[in-house]
């Protein structure tokens, strides 16, 4: 794994590793190379992000990893449950037995710890054995009862040194199949007390279609961002102020109907690209079912003719003096690249 100068700000500003995960003991798969003048060691770089201790793992001692292990083989028992965070920033696609590698990643993290899996998605021919669809990570960590936390894709234009980051949720990958740019996908997931590491998933598409299951998802909401030369910019957004709030089964429903912005529906629970803001701050959680909104403060779901949401502090939006807006990012230029 290499980190270039133009990627440095991504890490420092929390775009590669969620800020909440930067604590304790970190295991990185592959010892990273930092490609800028006077760069620190990777261990010191990650400690500077907030980790107390940094270990690295590789199949050989060539790059100076602290642990030598072949991820095609079972994880040594002494490494199980030892890390607050495990980062695969571009390793899984190089391991032939990728199912075993995922089991190793899941096994190394402590209960309450975070796994971050970043891998090529499209247009990386011969980079590794595989280009990984997001469904592999959604379905493996979902089947093993990890809490899926952040899901983002990155659109890379190497000639322009431009990187565009956007949320990517289950069922929403198809519009990006035609892009000429390179695409990566990163998922952060939390290990829970009930999590396992060895359940074999069925692809979620077939659970939904054949078995009639309706899977439920909750992700941390993120804004699309364009990064170039360390600068971060948001895409154009069309904004609407919510003015009427109706109590509905533990949540609030605000009327909104804009024909050109399609709402989410049962079979496409993340079709809407709506983002909901409270006094200019993005509400924290986007969910796949309006009934889930009441489960956590600061959640939202855009349905037909209504935006369902819960306030960040449980207060009444009719009397708390706060302003609520819905924004629709315009990514049409991104999908044409």
- The rounded distance, in Å, linking the Cα atoms of 99 and 111 is 21
Last residue of a domain, one of 207, 228, 249: 228
Whether residue 211 sits in one domain with residue 324: no
Whether residue 310 sits in one domain with residue 218: no
Whether residue 151 sits in one domain with residue 8: yes
How far lies 142's CA from each of 101, 134, 155, in Å?
A: 16, 12, 25
Question: Which residues lie closer than 8 Å to 321 by C-beta, 6 or more apart?
Answer: none
| Element of type H or E holding 335 | helix 332-335
Residue with tokens 């907030």: 50
How many residues in the chain?
337
- The rounded distance, in Å, linking the Cα atoms of 89 and 91 is 6
Whether residue 273 sits in one domain with residue 169: no
Q: Are strands 225-228 and 231-233 parallel, antiparallel or unpaired?
A: antiparallel
Give the chain's residues under pLDDT 50.
none
Residue with tokens 């990163």: 186
Residues 226-284: tens digit of each pLDDT: 988 778 899 999 999 999 999 999 999 999 999 999 999 998 999 999 999 999 999 99
Whether residue 215 sits in one domain with residue 262: no
What local confidence, expressed as pLDDT, does residue 53 receive?
A: 97
User: How much of the chain is helix, strand and coil, in % rounded to 5?
Assistant: 20, 35, 45
Whether residue 22 sits in one domain with residue 129: yes
Containing structural domain, residue 252: 237-335
Count of domains forming the chain: 2
What local confidence, expressed as pLDDT, does residue 13 receive?
A: 66
Last residue of a domain, one of 175, 209, 228: 228
Last residue of a domain, one of 183, 209, 228: 228
Whether residue 83 sits in one domain with residue 61: yes
Helices (H) and strands (E) in the chain, counts: 6, 22
């Amino acid at each position: 794994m290499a980190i270039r100068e133009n990627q440095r700000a991504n890490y420092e500003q929390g775009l590669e590793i969620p800020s909440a995960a930067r604590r304790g003991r970190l295991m990185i798969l592959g010892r990273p190379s930092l490609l800028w003048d006077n760069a620190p060691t990777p261990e010191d770089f990650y400690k500077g992000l907030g980790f107390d201790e940094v270990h690295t793992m590789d199949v050989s001692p060539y790059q100076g990893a602290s642990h030598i292990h072949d991820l095609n083989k079972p994880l040594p028992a002494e490494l199980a449950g030892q890390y607050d965070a495990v980062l695969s920033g571009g390793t899984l696609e190089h391991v032939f037995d990728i199912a075993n590698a995922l089991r190793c990643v899941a096994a190394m993290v402590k209960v309450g710890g975070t796994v971050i899996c970043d891998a090529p998605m499209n247009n990386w021919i011969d980079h590794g054995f595989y280009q990984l669809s997001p469904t592999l990570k959604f379905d493996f960590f979902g089947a093993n009862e990890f809490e899926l936390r952040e899901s983002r894709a990155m659109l890379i234009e190497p000639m322009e040194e431009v990187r565009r980051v956007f949320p990517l949720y289950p069922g929403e990958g198809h519009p990006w199949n035609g892009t000429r740019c390179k695409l990566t996908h990163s998922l952060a997931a939390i290990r829970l007390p009930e999590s396992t590491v060895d359940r074999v998933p069925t692809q979620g598409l077939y659970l939904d279609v054949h078995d009639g299951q309706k899977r439920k998802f909750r992700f941390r909401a993120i804004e699309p961002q364009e990064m170039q030369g360390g600068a971060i910019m948001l895409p154009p957004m069309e904004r609407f102020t919510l003015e009427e709030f109706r109590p509905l089964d533990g949540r609030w429903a605000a009327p909104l109907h804009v024909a050109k912005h399609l709402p989410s529906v049962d079979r496409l629970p993340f079709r809407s690209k709506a983002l909901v803001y409270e006094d200019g701050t993005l509400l924290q959680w986007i969910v796949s079912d309006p009934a889930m909104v009441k489960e956590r403060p600061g959640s939202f779901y855009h349905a037909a003719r209504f935006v369902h949401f819960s306030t960040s502090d449980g207060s009444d939006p009719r009397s708390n003096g706060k302003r609520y807006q819905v924004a629709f990012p315009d990514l049409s230029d991104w999908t044409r690249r």
